[in-house]
Structure 1
């Protein structure tokens, strides 16, 4: 994660079911859904003015750290998150066992 993004707070906007990261008055977000023992990550959106600056990656890393801190599991349904997990397999430890096989199969295609 870029150092300038490290200290920005991750906001859990639970009313809208999304995590938010505000950079320079623009907000990137990741929509999620609560499951029994897991958080399902559905969609990541980064405003055009923030694209290419590492904001999406910082958002994913902060959300994964939050999931781990909560001792929850991950259901990666968002293509941006699955692409990140493919590049950073150490985070696959958070993927819910029932989704891990599907996730690994989807990455082999």
Structure 2
């Protein structure tokens, strides 16, 4: 289930979520069906509130909907998939191996 407040800013290659006048982002590169997640940035004032996880859930749902596979280069996403192996189906097979999913 995707989050209507999160937008995919395709021109800037990032998903964006505005919270209290600040913007949390997930930066990506899209190549064919490969969605490489390179960085997750949450402003310090918003840390510890589950915003990165909220973004991750949206990105996973969006990738699944669009038939994309995720290459989680970003340390946050790698860790998220290790904590939530139920989403392994959307992870690129090479990364599944690397992450032990």
TM-score strictly above 0.5:
yes
Please give the alpha-carbon distance, in whole angstroms, between the structure 1 residues aligned to 2:24 and 2:45: 10
Q: Is the 8 A contact 2:33 2:68 kept in 1?
A: yes
- Point out where structure 1 has 5 or more consecutive residues left out of the alignment: 1-5
Q: What is the CA-CA distance between 1:40 and the residue it aligns to? A: 0.4
CA RMSD of aligned residues (A): 1.7
Q: What is the CA-CA distance between 1:100 and the residue it aligns to? A: 2.1
Q: Is the 8 A contact 2:22 2:43 kept in 1?
A: yes
Q: Is the 8 A contact 1:31 1:44 kept in 2?
A: yes
Name the TM-score, length of structure 2 as normaliser.
0.90
- Point out where structure 2 has 5 or more consecutive residues left out of the alignment: none
Name the TM-score, length of structure 1 as normaliser.
0.84
Displaced runs of 4 or more, over 3 A: none
Q: What is the CA-CA distance between 1:23 and the residue it aligns to? A: 1.2
Alignment deviations for residues 25-54 of structure 1 (CA, whole Å, 9 cap, x no partner): 111001100122120000000001100111
